[in-house]
Amino acid sequence: MIKTQKQVKTLHTLLLYIAGFCLFLEWLYPLGDISETNIGVFVLFALYCFFISYFQLHWLISIPVKGLGLLFIVHMLYFETSFLDLNWAGEVLQEVMYNMELMFSGDWYMLTNFFRSLLFLVLIWLMSYLLYYWFVRMKNIILFILLTFVYIGILDTFTVYEGAAAIVRIFIISFIALGMSSLSKEIENKRIPISVGERLKYWLLPLVFVVAIVSIIGYQAPKAEPQWPDPLPFLQGAADNIGDSGVGTGRVGYGEDDSQLGGSFVQDDTVLFEATVEEDHYWRIETKDVYTGKGWETSQDRNLLHQTGGQITLSTFEDSVETETLETQIAFTGSNRLPKVVYPYGVSSIRTEEPVDFHLDESMEGIETIRDGEDSTLEAYEINYESPSFDIKALQNNSEQDPEEVRDRYTQLPDDLPERVGDLAAEITENHETRYDKARAIERYFSANGFEYQTTDIPRPREEEDYVDQFLFETQIGYCDNFSTAMVVMLRSEGIPARWAKGFTSGERIDSNAEEQTHVNEVANSNAHSWVEVYFPEVGWVPFEPTQGFTNMADFEADVDENDYPLPEEEEPLEAPELDQEEGAEDEEETDEAEDQEEDTAASDEETGISALTGYILIGIGIVLLLILLALYIKRREIRIYFLQRKLENHFDETAFQEAYLYLLKLTGKKGFKRGSDETLREFARRVDEHLFAVEMSKLTRIYERMIYSKRLTGEKEEIIQLWKNLINQIMA
């Protein structure tokens, strides 16, 4: 009989562990869809770890064996040398030390792909132990099943992963696992003498049959429409209108939806691409022309024109503008990609080794890549462009009429735009005659009237508020979207065609080549930017930069006697400014004030950095606390037993013994020894002893009864404690 039970138990644990492994795979499968992760190697390592954990080898054997497997996977992914060449091990150690320094400094976003893969492999290693404990030892699988359903549900709702098939698989695996867990508990707790053949005939086959029938019926049955609305739009709306102040928080970077501007954001220094350039310039992506009072949209439907041979027909300025022929190379880093091409003003052609077609979207002047009829992204490409140089004198003397289609499209304003926006624009430009002078006056207005560049505590306009009106007259704080949108709206209120452009600033210089007169710029999410383009007849679209701390990267030329409208001093552009600097200061007092503002804002930057680091530390502490709570929950019985034993040893009296004995009754119930309603304590104790082949429960029960009736604990302390400990060990075994 004992041999048969051992065989059955072994089969149960194997089937349960396989079910746990299959459920764990459901956590890995989505990674292939929501990221560019090759999950095959991780699935292989998971199978390897789960296989070793099942046999419960001594830790002196299992840890080195699993560690060797982990190193083999790491070597296969990131090294080309022989596995037996130990030089790569030194590189692994250096890589680990480097990333550990990044972790302790709070720079989690800079962790390398190597270290992230290593951490993920370690997590799989730990999960093989945890799932063995849950599924095989404790037979407590409900929690992991529920977590798996929740995990897949969240991914299905908020990512591109389609979780319908995964939900069906989890349902089938879970029901089979629950059935096997119930059978295993019955056999282990009641020691039912059942053979393998009987188990298959009377339990497993009916279980599989029932689950299969239920799954088929559930899959084929008609489905009701969703009873709850999709939570994603609701959450997005809630994020757009947090609290009474309407403050929301996002992450800086390029996005296609600009219909709801405003709100705070956090910096994201993730590097998108590196560009080899001869001159710094804006990286343009698209423009928007319809201001709604809350943000920007486009008035025309998407209209793609095929660009034959990579020759780009986009023209933002006329042939009369003086240009210089230049070239730039762009290479994206890691798995980062953008859905559209980033390009400089004057782009003429694009070359890439990838088999794609370029299409120009006339509605927004965006350049898209199409591969096999579907939208695609590029890893690298080269651009030839004609870099423009705008003649200030020609812009000032420009008096031609705007084309009707330009005037109608790019002077649009919402009907409910507050009048005081137009009144302010008229007041700023009343002493200026030419279009260029008016544009420069509005561009300079922000730097001389207390407007501040700020990325936090930025409110979104309420339903009845206008985005520009709120910025100009209420808050006077914001970032590039606030400044650029306000300037476009004020220009349009003066009848000047203008539009909103977006893309990236030039980035941070990381390398240079003096011989070729080129340098390499690193462009990150934090370089995302928006600016203003103003239309000049017979010239085209000219960029302007109203945002505090940024410098217009367009090239302007003027005669040496152009004293009334000098060019702004050349300075290194501030790529992600946190400064309130005064442009065009006319005396030393204003300059000193600007320097004081810079110092104050620099201190604010340091506070923001500390705040971000504190946030990472708090997240880490939270994770550690959760792990501690999980460990305490798993070991709650052992912890309770430890304190009861200490209490018996240090404070041996009637109260301590009664507490220990009552917990013993509770523990036997948790382990399957249920006391019948008509069963006396002695009868129950005798049944427990018979099952455990012991006598401790009966002896302790007699001591407990004597204590209850005589109100006095009799017996030797050491003997009673030893009886209690022996029984506890047998029940927990």
Residue 618: C-alpha distances to residues 106, 110, 216, 613, 621 (Å): 11, 19, 47, 9, 5
CA distance 386 to 250: 36
pLDDT for 135: 75
Closest CA to 659 of 635, 643, 675, 674: 643
* 531, pLDDT greater than 90: yes
Select, from the ranges 173-177, 243-247, 268-272, 329-333, the one with the highest average predicted confidence (pLDDT). 329-333
Using the structure block, give the residue that is written with the tokens 């679209």: 541
In this prediction, residue 29 has a pLDDT band, given cuts at 50, 70 and 90, of: confident
What is the per-residue DSSP string for 158-195? Answer: HSS---HHHHHHHHHHHHHHHHHHHHHHHHHHH-----
Residues 6+ apart with CB under 8 A from 387: 279, 281, 323, 324, 325, 326, 344, 345, 346, 555
Short-list 325, 318, 357, 361, CA closest to 344: 325
Span 350-394, pLDDT tens digits: 999 888 999 999 889 999 999 888 888 888 999 999 999 999 988
The pLDDT value given to residue 554: 86
Top mean pLDDT of 250-254, 465-469, 636-640 is at: 465-469
Whether 550 shows a pLDDT value over 80: the answer reads yes
Contacts from 402-408 at CB under 8 Å and sequence distance 24+?
402/497, 402/535, 402/537, 403/537, 406/497, 406/535, 407/495, 407/497
What is the Cα–Cα distance from 225 to 149, expressed in whole angstroms?
Answer: 20
> Mean pLDDT across the stretch 20-42?
80
Q: How confident is the model at residue 417 (pLDDT cuts 50, 70, 90)?
A: very high
Local confidence band at 162 (pLDDT 50, 70, 90 cut-offs):
confident
Q: What is the pLDDT of residue 498?
A: 95
Tokens of 278: 């001869």
pLDDT at residue 147, rounded to an integer: 86
pLDDT at 105: 77
In degrees, to the nearest 5, what angle opens at C-alpha 464 toward C-alphas 460 and 470?
50
What is the per-residue pLDDT for 486? 94
DSSP per residue, 318-340: -TTSEEEEEEEEEEE-TT---SS
Mean pLDDT check: name the lowest of 106-110, 397-401, 463-467. 106-110
- Tell me, what's the pLDDT at 330? 92
Q: How far apart are CA 434 and CA 422, in angstroms?
A: 18
Q: Does residue 444 contact residue 532 with C-beta atoms inside 8 Å?
A: no
The arithmetic mean of pLDDT across residues 97-101, rounded, is 84
What would the two tokens of residue 270 be? 């993730």
Q: Tell me the two tokens of residue 406.
A: 């330009």
Over residues 559-577, the mean pLDDT reads 43
Average pLDDT, the chain: 78
**What value, to the nearest 5°, has the Cα angle with vertex 441 and ends 436 and 447?**
135
Of 713, 698, 605, nearest to 651 by C-alpha is 713
- Going by C-alpha positions, the residue among 322, 326, 373 that lies closest to residue 349 is 326
3-state SS class at 604: helix
Cβ count near 179 (within 10 Å): 19
Total residues found in the chain within this entry: 733
* Coil, helix or strand at residue 519: strand
Kindly report, residue by residue over 167-178, the tens digit of the pLDDT.
888 888 888 888
- Residue 559's pLDDT band, with cuts at 50, 70 and 90, is low
Which residues pair with residue 541 across a beta bridge?
Answer: 535
Please report which confidence band the pLDDT of residue 429 belongs to, taking 50, 70 and 90 as the band edges: very high
Q: Contact at 8 Å (CB) between 493 and 430?
A: no
pLDDT at 248 over 50: no
